[in-house]
A and B are shown apart, each in its own frame.
Chain A
Amino acid sequence: QQQVKQSPQSLIVQKGGISIINCAYENTAFDYFPWYQQFPGKGPALLIAIRPDVSEKKEGRFTISFNKSAKQFSLHIMDSQPGDSATYFCAATGYGNKLVFGAGTILRVKS
């Protein structure tokens, strides 16, 4: 019940295309859903996060879509750029507890 399932494992997108990464969770106590971007040899950096009281949040080219009834959330990267090539992790937590991470998605944007 603590798991967060993330897909796909890897993704190749053409420059300018849309990258979509999906996550699903089981624990209905989760109330904070962040996405992290990680470059090789670096720690994860917060990209964007959402709470279950909204269905969508957009920050620049990055959008989170959240479906509370389906217990799913996804990251959309619009106009994907080679600089977006990185590993992306979804995560979830509730009531100030530890973050539960997805397995990660390796994104490669081809120029």
Chain B
Amino acid sequence: GAVVSQHPSRVICKSGTSVKIECRSLDFQATTMFWYRQFPKQSLMLMATSNEGSKATYEQGVEKDKFLINHASLTLSTLTVTSAHPEDSSFYICSARGELGNSGYTFGSGTRLTVV
């Protein structure tokens, strides 16, 4: 089946630094990737949608200059949290959709970001 690899699984960084999270589709080409943020005991909140080779579409209220998304290839998307602050601490999850369309949403294992 489709596999999405997300790294790192956990990261601790200092305030003011930037952190990059990678999301790779291992056995399929991901035409679209989604980035979510999840707070404890809450649902997934979509941050942005990215299509390979084009700019990401951000959801309302998400700062695109703070959460930089790059989808340079059909198998890799990255989320960079710039100038991180403690309030950016959260669980970030990526999802990839391939050519199967609606049937092909596969999620990564998530990244726990802690900003100290």
Q: Which residues of A contact B (CB under 8 A)?
A: 31-32, 34, 36, 41-46, 49, 89, 93-94, 96, 98-99, 101-104, 106
Contacts and interface: CB of A to CB of B under 8 A. Distances in A.
Main secondary structure of the interface of B (DSSP, over half): strand
Nearest to B45: A101
Contacts of B106: 46
B34 A32 contact: no
A93 B102 contact: yes
Contacts of B41: 104, 106
Nearest to A31: B102
Contacts of B108: 43
A41 to B, nearest CB: 7
B109 A43 contact: yes
Interface of B: 4, 6, 34, 41-44, 46, 49, 91, 93, 95, 97, 101-103, 105-110, 112
Contacts of A34: 105
A99 B105 contact: yes
Nearest to B4: A43
24 contacts: A31-B102, A34-B105, A36-B107, A42-B110, A43-B4, A43-B6, A43-B107, A43-B108, A44-B44, A45-B107, A93-B105, A94-B102, A96-B101, A98-B46, A98-B49, A99-B34, A99-B46, A99-B95, A99-B105, A101-B43, A101-B44, A103-B43, A104-B43, A106-B41
